[in-house]
Amino acid sequence: EHGHEHHDEL
């Protein structure tokens, strides 16, 4: 799991 529920970077 990479820790984000969504991808917040652009």
Partner 1 sequence: MNLFRLFGDLSHLASILILLHKIQTTRSCRGISFKTQALYVTVFVARYLDLFYDWVSLYNFSMKVFFISSSIYILYLMKVRFRPTHDPSIDTFRAEYLVGPCVVLALIFNYKFTFPEVLWSFSIFLESVAILPQLFMLQRTGEAETITTHYLAALGAYRALYIPNWIYRYFSEGVVDPIAVIAGLVQTALYVDFFYVYFTKVLQGQKFELPA
CB of 2 to partner 1, least distance (A): 5
Rounded Cα distance between 2 and 9, Å, is: 13
Diameter over CA atoms, the chain: 19
At closest approach, how far in Å is the CB of 1 from partner 1? 8
> How many of the other CB atoms lie within 10 Å of CB of 9?
4
Site string for partner 1, 1-10 (x = CB under 8 A): xxxx-xxxxx
Q: Find the shortest distance in angstroms from Cβ 5 to partner 1.
A: 9
Contact residues for partner 1, defined by CB under 8 A: 1-4, 6-10
